[in-house]
Chains A and B, each alone.
Chain A
Amino acid sequence: DGGITQSPKYLFRKEGQNVTLSCEQNLNHDAMYWYRQDPGQGLRLIYYSQIVNDFQKGDIAEGYSVSREKKESFPLTVTSAQKNPTAFYLCASSIRGLGTGAAKNIQYFGAGTRLSVL
């Protein structure tokens, strides 16, 4: 069954702690994305990666870090520098990366991780 798997579903962060959210896809998609969702707001782009070993900052990258060592995996670390991390985090992927045409850029989403601060 092809799809995007995010884990864990719920995560709690203590003061000063870094936490890592997992995102794995078996769709053979080149591009992957991380979004943050806050109540009453649309999704905001944190980071994206169009190819292995390469990634770019989105609109709200401060306090976050990512890696893309494998095509299937794009983990997001919420660092202690992110002072307001409580949110719903969504991972997405698309066949090709940005700039390659709208049809190939349709994004498919995982089920999300809800992060709260203890």
Chain B
Amino acid sequence: AQSVTQLDSHVSVSEGTPVLLRCNYSSSYSPSLFWYVQHPNKGLQLLLKYTSAATLVKGINGFEAEFKKSETSFHLTKPSAHMSDAAEYFCVVSDTSGTYKYIFGTGTRLKVLA
């Protein structure tokens, strides 16, 4: 069965410093992986996706993620945090065994300090 683990439930960074949100996945198949962002009381917005093309994926708002098969990881990074990045971030693995159902991590809440 496929699963995804977000290693930190909360992350705090100072504005202008790098962001690292960690995600590990478990999959018997070549996975598709996504990062979504959710601002308070809002829906989820797609940040970026990995679907077996380049392993370094660039997304919106300066975020990027690197697919590392050997480490079964798909960590989200940003060189310099902005106050508007404060939100909850979800790592998602798509079940590529046939149904392509989304399997969500439990989320990481990012706090950006002024």
Contact = CB atoms under 8 A, between A and B. Distances in A.
Contacts, number: 57
Interface centre among A42, A98, A111 (most CB of B within 10 A): A42
B101 A114 contact: no
Contacts of A99: 98-100
The bracket for how many chain A residues form the interface is 20 to 34
B94 interface: yes
Nearest to B90: A42
A107 interface: yes
A105 B96 CA distance: 11
Contact of B106 (A42, A106, A108, A114): A42
A82 to B, nearest CB: 20
A55 to B, nearest CB: 14
Closest 8 CB pairs of A and B: A42-B104, A102-B32, A109-B43, A109-B44, A105-B100, A111-B43, A98-B99, A43-B104
28 contacts: A40-B9, A40-B107, A41-B106, A42-B104, A43-B102, A43-B104, A45-B101, A45-B102, A88-B41, A90-B43, A92-B44, A98-B99, A98-B101, A99-B98, A99-B100, A100-B100, A101-B100, A102-B32, A102-B94, A105-B100, A106-B34, A107-B102, A108-B46, A109-B43, A109-B45, A110-B43, A111-B43, A114-B41
